[in-house]
Structure 1
């Protein structure tokens, strides 16, 4: 590493990259190659900043796994040149992307900070400048010659979170994200304070980055609700080539214990479909067998997701399904914290 950290901004699209043409009131894309000139405050940061962008910036609603790979490859191709990365995306799917990248980037020893904004960077009251400036500061932060952050994170409204622990909770407040089951990694106030005992610390900084680019997309999220019918569950579980299901259950992992429901799940599992039980609650954990209404799920081979978020469960499912694992290996890896995404019991 050089004495002055080099940070690469990767712009994929999203609200943060928009400025308003005040003559027409229309929003247009911001030129991130001019970032330091447009936001002179960045010159006060003790780092060198470069930027690259998607050729065609995308709305976060159009995000898919091919774009995940594109972001991962941008990091891979620049990994040895830069000391840290700030990835700008639309906030709507940011938790999904950050979660996926946490699994795709193995042996990570540098910071990957996702951020965005609720208002465009050119707006008078924008939250974009603070989010961007502090994200760069975090990416450049070092201690004893090593980066303080060595994982995929998400920074928004004065808080840095582990990316695969986050959920978007508000479409209009600046405080758009929460991490219900894991504390913030850093908080920005008068000082930038890192909660160091919550950070991931690599065991070996010399390991080569491995980028996993295969993701299984034949997966689905099935959210339970009172009155869900046999026909609905049956039609979802009979989707052609379906490989995995994230089952959003009630409370601590509870679901109907009616025979038709358990039989449908059991038959799907027999066909090799992996079913992961996550809670619909914003916080807390699945504890299979804790109540009678989850005993049946445990007996037929549904995998308890512990305190993993839905966003991370779908990302981890996509990742593990592409790794050609045995049933026992799959269950073992899913129940194990691989990137700090769940709390091992």
Structure 2
């Protein structure tokens, strides 16, 4: 594949793989777990600009980093250029971040209802203003600002090519495209042709592709088909942090597909729970771990009672006892390879938008109320 170092401004990432921020999932413990597997960039859960600027405690609690996290990366959400600029400065000055990603792709109705996330790029001028404020605030610190977006609101309201041009003009260090519209949410198949089209039209900054990377081979295929400079992986790594090991190997030209036995998966589950407990305390850590159980065990023969008990685990001692009952030699269920993971949901007939949102593509001076709640 030649040299696949990903360069975002002054930041160099040895393997061109980014862990997508996922609400409630990509906390410090999970980022550490994934980073232990392979090189790349691991992004913190989405933080709202407003929550950060107003000193919201929940937002501060989410901005926790592992001591081994040398490259801190945060995704910022915002709809007001001034707030986004202030939040960017706080992240650079007080949190020592090395990379800020702006979220213009979130499909959640409570976000699009306010004109945020995947709805925002429809307002071309507002998008440019937000990017320029963030870039200007990060510039004195030498911190790259990137953006992530979707194809558009729906098939009739596409925004990604304009977004690419605006990203270049505004000084963004890269643009990532999820090959779905907001109305598709996580359903259907990601459109890699759109990613290729964006890559062809954006010539001065890296373009990253996102959508339907379930195995390392998919990442190589995306690079080959679209020419992207790197990949963003979200749901594909749920219950499979070793996907990052496979990706690092694949980009280094080695053929590896990790097929762990159930015993090895149990060891990974234990490590994940342990890291969560280190960061959050045992009670909350175990509670947080529960949501990952079904992803780790997907396709294995572990019975309903076992899954139920693991889903109610309260202490690491309980977890150890339960994991000891799994058959350590059971082979990885190859039927799960290449299969979608995490939420899929169904397409939405209508994306919830502010009244009159589609009437014009300007958006400067339009008042958008922004939530202070971080984490999506």
Does the TM-score normalized on the shorter chain lie above 0.5?
no
* TM-score calculated relative to the size of structure 1: 0.28
Between Structure 1 and Structure 2, the one with more helix by share is: 2
Between Structure 1 and Structure 2, the one with more strand by share is: 1
The structure with higher relative contact order (CA 8 Å, sep 6+) is 2
